């Protein structure tokens, strides 16, 4: 391995090692890779036309996969130098730069310029779909790059590390279909005076479409309170600059659609369309809680970003083009901050989406980018803690725990001893065709060797520190990559990345071998011995059928004995300056069991706060029959806090995100029978809006004391 | 009349054009993929479709119709915005013709009160069944999933047709205004509808048949055994995520609900297919959806069309893609045609060779199986297949279509004077009857 590779995140190394055809196939199942090639179109050596056409159709979800050959051994993989590196597949990265010496020139600008040059090689046609934005903040540059250029980027002077992006998870609450009464207004009064958020912007980053014409978002003149929507997956209007992808819909256009809708008796959202408009939309519900007319900030302006979902309705082929990873959230934040700046108003942003990968200590690219962006008055971001709190089913048909078993931790007690982890990939009717990733983190003072045993096998594949195994075919058809790395450049900790990839060769496509994969940690040198591991998972989603198998992107999970029920908070929520919000069931006076737990891996207390998130009634988007619907999840809690921060910013424009956090901690009320101690699900307690505003208004009033 | 037979994957899609008056009826819309790939671009130059007839809600019949209505709606809203002087990017779908009418019986109207619970139970048991490795259960799960998936599609079709969106009159009968907007069915003394020179008569289902269907679904829902079985499967499935599934459930238990023994093996929504007889002068075409033969015969009898014990048609759209449950000896004895249209692409081995044989025997076989109509005697007839093996990407479907092609070749050699065959290898083929 050449030395530059060490500056690439292992996941990027694994991708860079895949051929063009493999990455084209990967793009159809991965949220973090996009490709312009149809799967199979570069593999000229495979036998017969039917197989390729079938693979392609299967990957696009249009055939049931009956003709895919599952039982035959995988064909020999072409060597990468013959097959060709992936120039037509793209990945999002955060490039971290390092100033060589005090006083030396900051390399960020130079790296940014160099990345722009690489991005410029991307043709216009490709750029229109994947975007080619190169943005920088502090010592980070975010870019969309051809996978083939990764090595080149890693070797640039000034580049210290190339971070990968994490997939956004879409384990989102669904609208309840039963009839509900309209919500009572979430009005916040302090000393009898209603606070309404006038003068602030509420920014919402979400999925499902924004029903800007819903009565909950209309002002007294019947116009919408949305000032702008960036539809990242849309193409009906011009994209915003400098991002260069998606479609930006201005307030004038939204209002024009409302007027035309009235004139033509048509729903306005069908006239000025977004790429998603699902009935009972998540985004609409979330926005309604924070900033609807019956929400917390009824007088705030609303700015919105619609993040692409991996499978656009009715067009599964478009999946190849779609990124749904943390870079898109970072771009969304930058877009909203720019709006706040140009309008001269403070902004409170809500993100009811999450990601699982990374070190869970706030040191990954997106977290540090967000922290850097929040180092400015009048900005705050709330993130839903996640709904991965559940570790076993409450009833026999409750599969929520599958989403919950994503974390394990423990200690290798001393040198020479082993710790075994059970990592379960679902079989029996499912064929998991997506990639499964496991990241293990341990202290810099220890050395551990990792061994992997495939299900039903007696063989162990062992990788010691500073060794790696890249895309090695196993007998069961799965490809195994393991990287045992020391001293991660951003936090100094040691980490082991394990990737199970399906066979993505177009002529011998095969799912990941189902069953329990054993992961053994062996203590080579132990001073502390503690470790954490997270599964970066997919959301369950059927992508086709494969003989008797439903081909699934399916979350792998830890066995019940391996799973450790803590640290399940999403990785975005681990950023230092964001507010991570848990889900309180205020009617029962408890925390909802699905609410993800903290703390972070570096033992910071997250989530900080809980807010009502159980059976919350708010606007039901894109539904001609129902105006209101009820949903449950941290997705509903987070916008409540976002709205209250909006009120705090309206009261005190100059608040910093860190101060908002402090005020929320200080004013939170413990749940019944809890004390003021931080708890891993409720944080410091339940949000207390009036007290938080009072505190925000008064905290910087100073009284001078004199001796006499 | 001219009948345009489209490539429509495993679904049905025919376009009928009248000789006089330039009226058009679209019969089902194939699968969504078929509409996108083959059909929509052929409809782009057509100004109006006078009637879209959705035989029933299965996805391979209604899916393409939904795709077409969505395109029509997208163009309508696009025009509103363009006329305001601020056009967005052009819709990426071909322009759809103006649609003047829609005939479609929705699941909710068929089932009435219990539709919500039935839909939930279907949706809950389908994935569990499909996840099992027992072939029968997987098949049943697929059927359930199809119903569960087609219900929201049917709702979307109804929604798009409403006056505030596309404003397409639904189930409007010019001849019987009192029956308009309700469920379409064969009613006593119900007159035919006229589209230019085309006369369209509703042959089935009858009110009794619809009532039996509704009861069947209610029984399925009420029967605690069914609920329990569905739950058992799901429990097993939940427990087996880390262990092997044991097939302790007999999937056939799940079908016992269907209290109408004659229709055994035909999925429930299929028995509710609207059956239409289209006539123009001396020409006749029978559209059967996925209906059961017995129901078709009962309908023809009630309509007084088989008083002599037989009917000979110009064209028969053979029911349910030529699947094995949809052919009986009595049907072959009673119904014959100059042209038989089979819509099936080899998936689920449709059209079945045994069915093709039975139909063939009704024309060339012994007296007991032979069609009674004197017109069918010694007269040439043609089998139309709406696709070819070459068009299939799925290996098993391709293999089955190859079997069908071999069968056709063999049959042609055996009966060169009477048997003709047409395989549609391009986007469509025209069959003109005068």
Contacts of A428 in chain B (CB under 8 A): 131, 133, 240-241, 243-245
pLDDT band with cut points at 50, 70 and 90 for residue A631 = very high
CA-based nearest residue in chain B for residue A177? B116
Cβ pair A25, A509 in contact under 8 A: yes
Model confidence over B237-246: pLDDT tens digits? 444 433 333 3
The pLDDT score that the predictor gives to residue A46 is 30
- Residues 6+ positions from A496 with CB-CB distance below 8 Å: A439, A440, A442, A448, A450, A463, A482, A483, A484, A485
A469's enclosing H/E stretch is strand A468-473
- Is residue B114's pLDDT more than 80? no
ipTM of predicted complex: 0.78
The pTM for the full model equals 0.84
CA distances from B275 to A537, B99, B121, B285 (A): 49, 21, 29, 11
- Is residue A392's pLDDT more than 70? no
Percent of chain A with pLDDT over 70: 80
Model confidence over A167-194: pLDDT tens digits? 787 666 777 777 888 998 899 999 899 9
CA distances from A487 to A99, A465, A492, A553, B167 (A): 19, 11, 4, 32, 66
Model confidence over B143-198: pLDDT tens digits? 777 777 777 788 888 889 988 889 999 999 988 887 766 789 998 888 999 999 99
What number of other Cβ atoms are within 10 A of residue A414's Cβ? 11
Percent of chain A with pLDDT over 90: 47
Ranking A3-17, A609-623, B55-69 by mean pLDDT, the lowest is A3-17
What is the DSSP-derived secondary structure letter of residue B179? G
B81, B88, B135: residue with CB nearest A260: B81
pLDDT band with cut points at 50, 70 and 90 for residue B336 = very high
pLDDT band with cut points at 50, 70 and 90 for residue A540 = low
**Given the structure tokens 């609303």, which residue do they identify?**
A302
CA-based nearest residue in chain B for residue A555? B241
Region A647-675 average pLDDT: 95
Distance CA A172, CA A187 (A): 26
Among A266-270, A403-407, B389-393, top mean pLDDT goes to: A266-270
Please report, in angstroms and rounded to a whole number, the separation of the first and last CA atoms in chain A.
74
Model confidence over B278-329: pLDDT tens digits? 999 999 999 998 888 888 999 999 999 999 999 999 999 999 888 877 789 9
- Is residue A39's pLDDT more than 80? no
Contacts of B245 in chain A (CB under 8 A): 428-429
Contacts of A516 in chain B (CB under 8 A): 242
Model confidence over A469-489: pLDDT tens digits? 988 888 877 889 999 999 988
The pLDDT score that the predictor gives to residue A625 is 85
A66, A267, A396: residue with CB nearest B235: A396
Ranking A169-173, A223-227, A653-657, B82-86 by mean pLDDT, the lowest is A169-173
pLDDT band with cut points at 50, 70 and 90 for residue A69 = very low
Helices (H), B6-114: 32-34, 40-43, 59-83, 107-111
pLDDT band with cut points at 50, 70 and 90 for residue A539 = low
Choose between B144 and A398: higher pLDDT: B144
Cβ pair B132, A431 in contact under 8 A: no
CA distances from B33 to A27, A670, B7, B16 (A): 21, 55, 11, 21
Cβ pair A439, A430 in contact under 8 A: no
Distance CA A199, CA A646 (A): 9
A54 touches chain B (CB under 8 A): yes
Distance CA A227, CA B12 (A): 46
| Yes or no, beta carbons of A429 and B131 under 8 Å apart | yes
Average pLDDT over chain A reads: 82
Contacts of B82 in chain A (CB under 8 A): none
């Amino acid at each position: 391995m050449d030395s530059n590779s060490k500056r690439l995140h292992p996941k990027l190394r694994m991708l860079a090692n895949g051929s063009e055809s493999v990455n084209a196939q990967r793009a159809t199942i991965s949220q973090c890779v996009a490709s312009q090639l149809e799967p199979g179109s570069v593999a000229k050596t495979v036998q017969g036309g039917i197989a390729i056409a079938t693979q392609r159709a299967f990957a696009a979800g249009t055939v049931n996969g009956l003709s895919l050959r599952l039982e035959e051994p995988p064909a020999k993989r072409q060597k990468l130098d013959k097959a060709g590196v992936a120039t037509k597949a793209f990945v999002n990265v955060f490039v971290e730069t390092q100033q060589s010496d005090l006083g030396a020139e900051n390399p960020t600008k130079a790296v940014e310029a160099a990345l722009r040059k690489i991005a410029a090689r991307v043709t216009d046609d490709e750029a229109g779909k994947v975007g080619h934005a190169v943005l920088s903040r502090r010592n980070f540059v975010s870019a969309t790059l051809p996978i083939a250029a990764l090595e080149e980027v890693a070797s640039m002077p000034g580049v210290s590390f190339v971070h990968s992006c994490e997939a956004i998870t879409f384990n989102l609450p669904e609208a309840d279909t039963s009839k509900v009464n309209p919500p009572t207004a979430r009005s916040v009064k302090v000393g009898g005076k209603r606070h309404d958020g006038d003068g602030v912007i509420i920014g919402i980053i979400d999925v499902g479409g924004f029903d800007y014409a819903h009565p909950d978002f209309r002002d007294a003149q019947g116009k919408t309170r949305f000032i702008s929507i960036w539809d990242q997956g849309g193409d009906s209007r011009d994209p915003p600059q400098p991002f260069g992808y998606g479609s930006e819909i201005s307030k004038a256009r939204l209002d024009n659609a409302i007027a035309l809708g009235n004139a033509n008796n048509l729903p306005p959202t069908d006239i000025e369309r977004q790429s998603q408009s699902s009935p009972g939309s998540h985004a609409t519900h979330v926005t309604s809680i924070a900033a609807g007319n019956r929400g917390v900030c009824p007088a705030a302006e609303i700015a919105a970003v619609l993040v692409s979902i991996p499978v656009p309705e009715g067009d599964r082929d478009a999946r190849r083009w779609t990124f749904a990873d943390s870079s898109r959230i970072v771009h969304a934040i930058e877009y909203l901050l720019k709006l706040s700046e140009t309008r001269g108003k403070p902004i409170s942003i809500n993100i009811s989406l999450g990601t699982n990968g990374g070190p869970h200590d706030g040191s990954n690219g997106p977290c540090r980018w967000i922290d850097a962006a929040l180092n400015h008055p009048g900005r705050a971001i709330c993130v839903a803690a996640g709904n991965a709190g559940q570790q076993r089913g409450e009833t026999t048909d409750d599969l929520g725990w599958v989403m919950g078993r994503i974390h394990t931790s423990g200690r290798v007690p001393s040198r020479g001893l082993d710790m075994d982890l059970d990592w379960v990939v679902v079989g029996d009717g499912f064929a998991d065709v997506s990639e499964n990733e496991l990241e293990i983190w341990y202290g810099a003072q220890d050395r551990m060797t990792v061994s992997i045993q495939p299900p039903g096998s007696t063989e162990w594949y062992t990788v010691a520190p500073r060794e790696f195994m890249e895309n090695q075919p196993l007998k069961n058809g799965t490809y195994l990559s393991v990287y045992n790395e020391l001293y991660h450049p951003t936090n100094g900790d040691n980490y082991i990345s394990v990737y199970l990839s399906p066979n993505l060769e177009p002529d011998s496509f095969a799912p990941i071998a189902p069953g329990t994969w054993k992961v053994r940690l062996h203590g080579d040198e132990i001073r502390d011995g503690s470790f954490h591991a997270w599964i970066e998972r997919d959301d369950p989603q059927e992508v086709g059928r494969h003989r008797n198998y439903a081909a699934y992107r399916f979350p792998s999970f830890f066995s019940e004995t391996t799973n450790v029920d803590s640290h399940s908070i999403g990785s975005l929520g681990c950023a230092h300056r964001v507010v991570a919000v848990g889900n309180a069931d205020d009617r029962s006076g408890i925390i909802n069991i699905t609410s993800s737990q903290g703390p972070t891996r570096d033992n910071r207390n997250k989530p900080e706060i809980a807010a009502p998130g159980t059976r919350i009634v708010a606007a039901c988007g894109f539904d001609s029959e129902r105006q209101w619907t009820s949903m449950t999840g941290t997705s509903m809690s987070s916008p409540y806090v976002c709205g209250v921060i909006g009120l705090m910013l309206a009261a005190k424009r100059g608040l910093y995100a860190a101060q908002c956090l402090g005020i929320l901690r200080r004013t939170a009320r413990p749940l019944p029978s809890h004390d003021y101690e931080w708890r891993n699900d409720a944080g410091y307690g339940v949000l207390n809006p009036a007290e938080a505003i009072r505190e925000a208004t008064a905290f910087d009033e100073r009284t001078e004391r004199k001796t006499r | 009349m001219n009948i345009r037979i489209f490539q429509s994957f495993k679904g049905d899609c025919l376009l009928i054009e009248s000789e006089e008056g330039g009226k058009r009826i679209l019969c089902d819309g194939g699968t969504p993929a078929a509409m996108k790939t083959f059909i929509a671009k052929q409809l782009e130059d057509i100004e109006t479709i006078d009637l879209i007839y959705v035989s029933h809600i299965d996805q391979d019949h209604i899916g393409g119709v939904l795709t077409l209505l969505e395109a029509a709606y997208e163009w309508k809203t696009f025009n509103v915005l363009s006329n305001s002087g601020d056009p967005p990017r052009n819709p990426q779908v071909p322009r759809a013709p103006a649609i003047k009418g829609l005939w479609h019986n929705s699941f909710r109207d068929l089932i009435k009160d219990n539709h919500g619970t039935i839909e939930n139970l279907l949706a809950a048991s389908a994935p569990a069944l499909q996840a099992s490795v027992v072939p029968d259960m997987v098949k049943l799960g697929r059927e359930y999933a199809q119903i569960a998936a087609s219900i929201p599609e049917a709702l979307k079709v109804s929604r798009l047709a409403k006056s505030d969106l596309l404003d397409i009159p639904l189930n409007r009968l010019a001849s019987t205004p009192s029956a308009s907007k309700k469920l379409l069915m064969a009613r006593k003394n119900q007159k035919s509808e006229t589209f230019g020179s085309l006369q369209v008569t509703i042959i089935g289902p009858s009110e009794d048949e619809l009532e039996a269907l509704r009861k069947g679904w209610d029984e399925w829902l009420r029967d605690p055994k069914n609920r329990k079985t569905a739950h058992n499967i799901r429990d097993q499935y939940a427990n087996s995520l880390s262990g092997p599934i044991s097939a302790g459930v007999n999937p056939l238990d799940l079908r016992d609900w269907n209290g109408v023994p004659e229709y055994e093996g035909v999925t429930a929504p299929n028995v509710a297919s609207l059956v239409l007889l289209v006539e123009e002068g001396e020409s006749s075409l029978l559209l059967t959806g996925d209906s059961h033969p017995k129901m078709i015969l009962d309908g023809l009898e009630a309509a007084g069309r088989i008083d002599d014990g037989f009917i000979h048609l110009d064209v028969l759209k053979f029911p349910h893609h030529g699947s094995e449950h949809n052919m009986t000896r009595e049907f072959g004895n009673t119904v014959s045609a100059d042209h038989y249209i089979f819509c099936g692409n080899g998936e689920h081995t449709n059209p079945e060779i045994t069915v093709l044989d039975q139909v063939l025997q009704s024309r060339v076989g012994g007296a007991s199986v032979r069609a009674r109509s004197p017109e069918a005697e010694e007269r040439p007839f043609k089998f139309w297949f709406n696709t070819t093996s070459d068009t299939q990407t799925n290996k098993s479907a391709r293999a089955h279509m190859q079997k069908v092609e071999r069968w056709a070749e063999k049959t042609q050699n055996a009966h060169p004077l009477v048997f003709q065959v047409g395989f549609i290898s391009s986007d469509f083929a025209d069959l003109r009857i005068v």
